[in-house]
Amino acid sequence: MKFPYALSDFGTLIQDGYFYQDRTDRIAQLEDAGRQLIFIRPRRFGKSLLLSMLEHYYDVNRADQFEALFGHLAIGQNPTPLHNQFFIMKWDFSLVKAQGDLKEIEMALYQHVNNRIIRFQRTYAKALSAPIAIDPNNAVSSWESAITAIAGTPYPLYLLIDEYDNFANEVLMTGRRQAFYENLLYGEGILKTLFKAVKGGIRGIDRVFITGVSPVVLSDMTSGYNVGEDIYHKAAFNDLCGFTEAEVAAVLEQLAAETQGAGASWSPAEALDLMRTFYNGYCFSEDSGERLYNPTLSLYCLKTLQTEGHYPREMLDENLAMDRGKLSYIAELPHGEELLAQALNGEQGILIPRLAKRFGVADVLTGVKDQPFMASLLYYFGILTLTGVGLLDKPILNIPNLVARSLYVERLRERWLPTYEDQETIPRLAETVYLTGDLAPLVAFIEQRYFPILSNRDYRWSNELMLKLAFLTLLFDDRLYMMVSETELDHGYVDLSLILRADRRTTTALDLLLEFKYVSLKDLKLTGEQVRTRTPEELAALPAVTEALQAAGQQAQRYGAALSERYGLSDLRLYAVVGVGLERVVWQALS
């Protein structure tokens, strides 16, 4: 098997024998869905490969390659009448430079469109009956000339637009003024004008397929392009990009059969469990419960297994690390930090009235940044996903997997503990817990450093959540652990489990499970000063604290048995941890 990591050209993929998860069976459904379609997915989720597949399928110039490219795929067994019946033009706005002043961005956009029209003219020169006039200062004029030339041929145009929102989002996320962005999209803004020209090209254009990351731009260009049909929430296209678990499992079985003889030390079941924890969990339709694996991350892992015989040491591919910037953007908004922390509390999730499907720059820059708005943005960025519906059919959003969770933890830890001393101290404290199971140094740090920070933040969190966040952000290490908060077990949820990755079991680190409870100062009828002066033993002897420790211990024992059975653990360390106000932490090791 050859894994096509970062390769999005369908022709190269097929002709050179790379792995391809067949999605050609959806072509007929896409044709029936409409003539001008808009499909949104997070970054690096296979959108460009999807467009390339459509390009190769519909291109009139590739008719003689149809059998070689598609004969072994689903659509090759039952092709639609439209195959190889179109001229193809492709715009890729991810290639448009977003830096500079407005005129420079306008010229970059026009140059890209002009370059693609020139390429189109060269590709189909024999079929075109009239020349295309390229206006270097006005790509809309060049486009209109191209449409006129196409109208004089027997073939209609299929226009493919990749990352339609890329350069506009780049302008937006870099903090440019609202007026700057409005000049791109409002009135006779260049992007709006360009899409208005696409809408008006009815003489030669027959179909349009547009991909992007978010619908931010859609609202602002509605009057310029209001004919596109959104298909990104439809259940039929939930897995149009991404891998299902059955598909990943099948690939792992085949890969194992090919590589086990070469000394590989992993099993398909073990690999699937690891990949499920780190890469699975995405759902893009409220009407589909099927979870999807991130395709780029999955291929990154599969290729490492194949070529190196072990799992990636860093499960987050750095090509996706730029998503940190999206979390930073949300964290800077009013109540944004609170939303990120709430997302880490996976038991409840984030309940919103509805996903925002179209919102404009005014909403992003000057509107009220309420929870539904921010949560919807994180959903489109791929760092929240649909996990169900709550009361009144309201969508529930959660962090999809451990890779995404690591971005949240990293962002909050940097905001709350930004100093050099903090960054030097935290790894040493965490390693003490990993190697010895002694929580005492970590607890002292939480009491002296962490609680003062969290208690000064005016957030509507439960104090038990604050306690959990402190341990989660300090102990999180996905290079060593499958570290999952709110793991569902035995009709309940583990507060925090640190289970060694299968490829790290040769280390001397421990498997850990922590259950948290909280006792308020009001319940104890004590002041903060009184609590701070008592020893841990004295605090543990208080009836309310004793009761909380016992309750946490019982949960830890029950969940620990289930976790040990699931992962075959023989020495899982269990802890009951009780926060006493936002002043002290009392803990007990149970095993």
Q: What is the pLDDT of residues 445-462, one digit of tens each?
A: 999 999 888 777 655 566
* Residue indicated by tokens 């024992």: 557
Instruction: Give residue-wise pLDDT tens across range 226-262.
Output: 778 899 999 999 999 999 999 999 999 999 988 876 5
Tell me what the mean pLDDT of segment 156-173 comes to: 83
2 part of a folded domain: no
Query: CB–CB of 375/353 below 8 Å?
Result: no
The C-alpha atoms of residue 470 and residue 474 are separated, in whole angstroms, by: 6
Report residue 176's pLDDT band, with 50, 70 and 90 as the boundaries: low
Nearest to 312 by CA among 327, 292, 296, 291: 296
Least confident of 60-64, 299-303, 389-393, 498-502: 389-393
Query: CB–CB of 415/434 below 8 Å?
Result: no
Residues 142 and 221 in one domain: yes
CA distances (Å), origin 560, targets 11, 439, 453, 564: 50, 18, 31, 6
> Parallel, antiparallel, or unpaired: how do β-strands 205-212 and 157-162 relate?
parallel
The C-alpha atoms of residue 345 and residue 363 are separated, in whole angstroms, by: 27
The C-alpha atoms of residue 55 and residue 87 are separated, in whole angstroms, by: 9
Q: Is 517 helix (H, G, I), strand (E, B) or coil?
A: strand
Nearest to 205 by CA among 155, 161, 138, 164: 155
Tell me what the mean pLDDT of segment 269-286 comes to: 92
Domain boundary among 199, 232, 265: 232
Domain boundary among 281, 315, 349: 315
- Tell me what the pLDDT averaged over the chain comes to: 88
Report residue 573's pLDDT band, with 50, 70 and 90 as the boundaries: very high
Domain boundary among 315, 340, 374: 315
Which long-range contacts link 91-95 to residues 24+ away (Cβ below 8 Å)?
Answer: 91/116, 91/159, 91/160, 91/161, 91/162, 92/48, 92/161, 92/162, 92/163, 93/161, 93/162, 93/163, 93/164, 93/165, 93/166, 93/167, 94/162, 94/163, 94/166, 94/167
**Sequence-separated (6 or more) residues with CB below 8 Å from residue 463:** 518, 520, 579, 581, 582
pLDDT in the model for residue 446: 96
Q: Which three-class secondary structure string do you get for 51-73? A: HHHHHHHHEHHHHHHHHHHHCCC
Q: Which three-class secondary structure string do you get for 247-268? A: HHHHHHHHHHHHHHHHCCCCCH
Nearest to 512 by CA among 462, 571, 587: 571
Q: Is 190 helix (H, G, I), strand (E, B) or coil?
A: helix
Q: What are phi and psi of 589, to 5 degrees?
A: -85, 125
pLDDT in the model for residue 303: 93
Which long-range contacts link 116-124 to residues 24+ away (Cβ below 8 Å)?
Answer: 116/89, 116/90, 116/91, 117/89, 117/142, 117/143, 117/146, 120/87, 120/88, 120/89, 120/146, 121/146, 121/149, 123/61, 124/60, 124/61, 124/87
Instruction: Give residue-wise pLDDT tens across range 394-414.
Output: 899 999 999 888 889 988 999
Tell me what the mean pLDDT of segment 417-421 comes to: 93
356 part of a folded domain: no
pLDDT in the model for residue 190: 79
Instruction: Give residue-wise pLDDT tens across range 300-335.
Output: 999 999 998 889 988 887 766 656 777 887 887 777
Alpha helices in 382-535 (DSSP H): 402-416, 420-436, 440-445, 451-455, 463-475, 521-524, 528-532
Query: CB–CB of 60/206 below 8 Å?
Result: no
Nearest to 448 by CA among 312, 329, 582, 568: 582
Report residue 98's pLDDT band, with 50, 70 and 90 as the boundaries: confident
Residues 266 and 224 in one domain: no
pLDDT in the model for residue 91: 96
Burial zone of 393 (CB within 10 Å; 0-12 exposed, 13-18 middle, 19+ buried): exposed
Residues 591 and 518 in one domain: yes
Between 429 and 166, name the one with better pLDDT: 429
% of the chain with per-residue pLDDT over 90: 59
pLDDT in the model for residue 171: 67
Tell me what the mean pLDDT of segment 286-291 comes to: 87
239 part of a folded domain: no
Residues 249 and 211 in one domain: no
Q: Is the dihedral of CA 198, 50, 321, 96 positive or negative?
A: negative
- DSSP state for residue 509 in the 8-state scheme: P
Residues 251 and 189 in one domain: no
Residues 523 and 465 in one domain: yes
Instruction: Give residue-wise pLDDT tens across range 331-389.
Output: 877 778 888 888 887 667 899 998 877 666 666 666 556 778 888 888 998 889 998 88
Is the pLDDT assigned to residue 485 strictly greater than 70? no
Residues 214 and 260 in one domain: no
429 part of a folded domain: yes
Query: CB–CB of 198/84 below 8 Å?
Result: no
Tell me what the mean pLDDT of segment 475-502 comes to: 82
Instruction: Give residue-wise pLDDT tens across range 530-547.
Output: 999 999 999 999 999 999
pLDDT in the model for residue 37: 95
Residues 194 and 287 in one domain: no
Which long-range contacts link 101-106 to residues 24+ away (Cβ below 8 Å)?
Answer: 102/180, 102/183, 102/184, 105/167, 105/171, 105/184, 105/190, 106/190
Is the pLDDT assigned to residue 191 strictly greater than 90? no
**Sequence-separated (6 or more) residues with CB below 8 Å from residue 590:** 553, 556, 557, 560, 574, 575, 576
Residues 184 and 273 in one domain: no
Residues 139 and 179 in one domain: yes
pLDDT in the model for residue 333: 76
Position 359, amino acid: F
pLDDT in the model for residue 530: 95
Query: CB–CB of 93/164 below 8 Å?
Result: yes
Tell me what the mean pLDDT of segment 169-197 comes to: 70
Report residue 43's pLDDT band, with 50, 70 and 90 as the boundaries: confident
Tell me what the mean pLDDT of segment 64-80 comes to: 97
Tell me what the mean pLDDT of segment 176-201 comes to: 73
Report residue 181's pLDDT band, with 50, 70 and 90 as the boundaries: low
Tell me what the mean pLDDT of segment 176-193 comes to: 69
% of the chain with per-residue pLDDT over 70: 89
Query: CB–CB of 209/39 below 8 Å?
Result: yes
515 part of a folded domain: yes
Query: CB–CB of 518/463 below 8 Å?
Result: yes
Instruction: Give residue-wise pLDDT tens across range 16-42.
Output: 999 999 999 999 999 999 999 999 999
543 part of a folded domain: yes
The C-alpha atoms of residue 21 and residue 248 are separated, in whole angstroms, by: 10
As for how many domains the chain has, the answer is: 3
Residues 284 and 188 in one domain: no
343 part of a folded domain: no
Residue numbers of the domain that contains 584: 417-591
399 part of a folded domain: no
Residues 451 and 578 in one domain: yes
